[in-house]
Amino acid sequence: MKILVCISNVPDTTSKINFTEGNTKFDSNGVQFVINPNDEFGLTRAMWFKEKQGATVHVATVGGPATEPTIRKALAIGADEAIRVNADPLDGYFVAEQLAAIVKDGGYDLVIAGRESIDYNGGMVPGILATLLGMNFVNSCISLEIEGENATAVREIDGGKEKLTTTLPLVIGGQKGLVSESDLKIPNMRGIMMARQKKLNVVEPVDAHSTTEDVAFDKPAPKGSIKMVDADNLDELISLLHNEAKVI
């Protein structure tokens, strides 16, 4: 089985976010970038298929040279090869077009993408990718088993879970639950050293156009001041909740 894991290079959630050029551009200065958490769950599940079933695991990302430390981490975790499309990830459709070209050229049986990235939270890429490729698709996937050409998946739905059976080739949009957090792998020194010897292919983008444009960014409104109430003064607390907060 040949697996492609799609990796998005996203800011660490502890990073301080700023914008430039009149709030029209994201300021990456001083920002630590990491593997998108939903993608990391998918990568870990792919590594399970490699260890248990002898699968070949490649990873791919769309981005400039600054994304290479992130993709190298995926190699250190255990991926066999990496592909970087040398282009800015303009929007979800553009990224899906680039990944679709990689899948078509590589002959992959299973494509694992995160349900969404934690920066723009578009949630578009896996579905668009499956449509472009004409592959079966399971989104919000929290469990995946493969036996031969057959796949059994569980996905989250409103109010519960749904178990599905399908066949390869398959695209999934994975998320937390695909593996447990305790199963996530931290690269060790041996993995880091081996990653330096693994192949990182840089390819030029295929002709594709973005369909959206970032007009401006706005930060969330600052949190308002708080008012402390003595634990024994329930009357004041009720009055504030009723008259000021107007939640009761």
**What confidence score (pLDDT) does residue 211 get?**
86
Q: Structural domain boundaries of the chain? A: 2-216
Pick out the chain residues at pLDDT < 50: none
Q: What is the pTM of this model?
A: 0.87
Of the CATH numbers 3.40.50.2300, 2.40.70.10, 3.90.1300.10, 3.40.50.620, which one belongs to the domain with range 2-216?
A: 3.40.50.620
pLDDT at site 57: 98
pLDDT, one tens digit per residue, over 27-78 is 988 899 999 999 999 999 999 999 999 999 999 999 999 999 999 999 999 9
* Residue 129 zone, left/alpha/beta (φ > 0; ψ -120 to 50; rest): alpha
Instruction: Find tokens 């409103």 and name the residue.
Output: 158
Measure the CA–CA gap between 61 and 45, rounded to whole angstroms: 18
